[in-house]
Structure 1
Amino acid sequence: MPPPPPQQPAPAAAAASRAAMLNAVNTLASYSDTLADFLDQWNSVILDVASIAATFAVLIPGPDSDPKLALPAAEPQPDPAPEPEGENSPAPDQESQSEPSPPAPEPEPEPERDSVPSPPPPEPEKESLPNLAPEPEPAKEPVPNIAAPEPEPNAVPVPLPELTTPPAPAPNPSAADLELRCQKMNYRGLRRFFTAHVRGRERWLREVGPAALRGAADPAALVLRTVGRYYIRAESRDAEEACTLLLELYVRAGCPRRQGHDADLRQEAREGALSWRSRLVRVGNDGASGARGLAFFMAGFGVPAEFPALELYDLIVAADVAACTEVLKCSKLFVKKMLDVAIEMINKAMYLQAMRIILAFELQDAFPLAATLTLVVEKIEHDRKDESEDRASERDEEELALLSSISKCMEDHKLCPSEFSSFAEKIALLEVRVGKPAQALAGIKRKRTEDLVEQDAH
């Protein structure tokens, strides 16, 4: 008789075996995860200990804290690692016990469908095994951390930020454009350039403008044709200020001219100055800018002989002497003309105006102050003889006001009037006559004043 067919296991036994296998797999997976977490924490502890040891080795150097001796101390730390390996050894036994549980190969497909998560168990095992091997590697990682602080004694290169010099500024294209327009004698282009940059860039134009004008083939013709007749009708306020600034820069540059300056250009400049004067006389008060523009124009191209000297003084006063004198002194032609103006003012008894011109334009070489003040006092006394005695007191007040104004003008130019004896004595005498001895100049003694009064009485 044939042997009886093998009895099929009961469904309950198969289900129990599968449940036992799943339980073992889950237990192994959770154990491997726990082991992996433990190893990660252990590695982090090793790294922290190594870094702390390296820090103390650098901060407190000594024979016991040699960083080379600290390395082996970190390596024996993984000795406890074999303990998890011993604990992990039962895992294969459990798998071997759970694997022969199914007696027949037929139910194998069912666990593959039902227990799809069964393949992962070997994976955590393989993942956990490499985690044990790299344990010595974290001990090697602190090596660069320990060696890195060693260069600290060579921290001399701290001045590295000082070595980093800022990049050289790029050349300003506007300056090159200005020079090119001047070299090409581009009148309209130069005027448009100044009009576009006159707002907010006056300081920059004053720095680069004079040199650019000197580079022109004929600077005088360039400036004269660029300015044109803007004083009659300018396109805008910016254009008017641009032309005034251009004339100022031309004077600051020293009024350069081409050799063999033609007569046509001089005649054109003369007609322009007289036309400008006529407009100012006709319009009246055109403000300081209009007067300053004409003053710069005549400083650059000459003062016409037909221009009255006294009007020239009024023009400078209207243009604000303090604001334009520094520029006007750059023109030799204009300073020479002011010598004639000062002489004419002294001859017409305009002593205060003459002293203002002399001091503002520094004409002390032609008009020494001591001699000039003595001449003024002599002329005042000479003019006094021709007047009646009835106006003596009124005349004293007028002379005192005049001399006091001259003294104040000298003080404004950092000069001490008391250093000029005849001038100071005259003021002191007039103050006594008028009855204002308290306003006597410093440095004049009261005794000297009394002696002057006695001399005058005799």
Structure 2
Amino acid sequence: MTSTKSIAAAIKAIPAKKDDLKKAFEELQAHSSSLASFTLQWKDLEDHISSIERSIEGRFRDLESKEKERPAAAVSPPSVAAPAMEEEPELDPRPELRSLCVKMDGKGLRMFINENRKDLMNLRKELNRAIRAASDPAKLILDAVEGFYPAKFKAEPPSEGDLANRRTCVLLLERIHVISPEIKPPVRERAKKLATEWKGKMSPDGGQNNVETLAFLQLLVSYGIMSEFEAGDLFDLLVPVAKRRQTVDLCKNLGLSDKMPDFIQKLSSRGKKLDAVKFVYAFELVDKFPPVPLLREHVNESKKIAQDVRKKGNNSAQSQNEATAKELAALRAVIKSVEEYKLESEYSPESLQKRVTQLEHQKAEKKRSAASAALTNPKGQARQQQANKRPRPSTTSATTAVAAHPTAPLSQTSLPLIDRASYMASTGPYGLTGNSYLYEHTGSAYTANPLGLGATRSPPRSLLYSDPLAGSSLYDRSGAYGSYSLSGGLPSQYNSSLYR
């Protein structure tokens, strides 16, 4: 297989071969007097060769970029068998998906994908084969993406369903670029009209997640209608999506490679220095745009932005936190770029890392200070104390329970109580004192008899019975409490309907 080195050597040999061709052409031109129809000029031939040369160089750059993106395992030494790079595998489409494409049902295809987005990973692998089954794939996709904007379009934020539908359209447009089907003139004309319509409806910010911008640019690429729009207009659309992974490929496919210096200048002037560095390397313009000065400018601009945030927020805690977060994000991004493009010898990341550590320390200190201030603040203290409180048994529960039952006799409140110490010392059934008292039904009157333990008191407790049982036979009787037994357990004559 031909290596990139041999291709590069062949490209370098083109100028010498062009000189040889020019000499041969001049010799041929010397005999042009005998050929009346020989009107070809060297300039015409040179322009033709130059256009071919530019095309070859563009494709070679694409090949080199793909080589760089290959994993390390794929560039292993010759002695080790390196696995071949494979494209994403294609799967046989499910019958309903294939049927929609065969029937040229573009709207149905779009709706089917929308309804099955949970299985998008497999659908993506099935789409290529399904679309190839259509009689006119380019027309099928164009029919599908005509529903990018709803029929009754309103300039308002799209719903979740609208966003999902637009992402589906982008996916379908990308398939056209992969499959490269024949695009017939009537279909191309329809695509031009659709592009003009989309540009008029596009949100000023490119739509949520810039999906409107990406769809528009992909439409131009897929149907080869880039020449309908000025490069400057396309650059204005590309700037907001410069951070996107696919933007570099979009620029190449839009035929903007020769105009990349202008685009990089535009990115830099709009404060997108990191994106500018990405395009500098993608289009091999390091000599024209040294990356280190761009990275340094990005760091300095991030400091100014942080100062402005603090100033606008009157140095409030919130504004300081926001400013710190912005500067930290910028520093980390620059460190990543330095490491990615191997610029450590020109721009040491140590000073950047020190600044990151300093900002993180300040952030932690402010957080601790805020926590301390909340505790010293009376309101903060009260909240903390309230959070630390634990529920305790109420000493008035028995009284509250009695008050909740107005039908109980007043004499019930004067019952003797067992001493708390005795209660804690010996526990019997139900967690009460070993020789606890139970209610004993003895006759027609309730009396408060002395307890067997002398003048001791029982622990306070809530009423034994709940409200719904207050009307039981226990409370309907007009008798009094009888003596309390220390034997534990219920007396045999306790046959209240409460326990039946």
TM-score when normalising by structure 2:
0.37
Q: Which has the higher helix share?
A: 1
Bigger relative contact order (CA 8 A; separation at least 6): 1
TM-score when normalising by structure 1:
0.40
- Point out the structure with max Rg over C-alpha: 1
